[in-house]
Amino acid sequence: MIKGIVMDFDGLIFDTEWHHYEVYRDLFQAQGATFGVEEYGAAVGSQGVIDPPAMLAERTGQLVDPTEFGAHHDQEVHRRLKEQKEPRSGVRALIQQIQSLDLRLGLASSSDRVWVERWLKHLQLWDAFEVVCTRDDVEHVKPDPALYTLAAEKLGLSPQEILVFEDSVNGSEAARKAGTHCVVVTNRITEQLAFGPVHRKVRTFLDLDLTTLLEELR
């Protein structure tokens, strides 16, 4: 029986991943190089999978200062996200339904705590989560199961009592390895990727009914 929900953050609750990708793409294009959505997709949900400054240097044959590159990227992404006031469609309604059903609610993200807390508070969703686990809390991020194992432990539940919502291949693999149930809600970056076994895969939260999911997993 499902007693708790654990959600990812980037790309699932808040559409951050598309902005990361577009800024990288534009930085590459400014130097006459390309950066494909599938390249970024492989990195979603984890950390250190790709090295965009090194990739740009290789493709252009020019020196790329990783500090300057990263500063420009971060500044532009933050500017865009500040203008985005709402989470992905259906997120607020899902959280309200979780609360109405008295389910425990946690979050597990491969991003750092400062990032997650900043944007959850920006969306006025920080207080909705009983437990927030980030890369600061574990040695290895997704696709390693540590984040979901830790979230289950902090919620006082077994992994089998948890339903995870994920948007990435790395995240869904982490949920599977942790022994949880997983539903994938893809985004513009991950919708074309090949996922391993999950309970269900949809393109939007509006395609889901939590009560039906809980009955299926009972």
Q: Look-up: residue for tokens 């089998």?
A: 160
Residue 199 carries which DSSP code? S
Q: How far apart are CA 214 and CA 152, in angstroms?
A: 17
CA distances to 174, 194, 200, 218 from 197, in Å? 12, 10, 9, 18
For the record, the structure tokens of 112 come out as 């750092």
CB 108 within 8 A of CB 114: no
Which amino acid type is present at position 61? G
The answer to whether residue 127 is catalytic is no
For the record, the structure tokens of 217 come out as 């997993």
Three-class SS state of 70: helix
The answer to whether residue 102 is catalytic is no
Q: DSSP letter string over 148-181?
A: HHHHHHHHT--GGGEEEEE-SHHHHHHHHHHT-E
Report, as residue numbers or ranges, the catalytic residues.
Answer: 8, 10
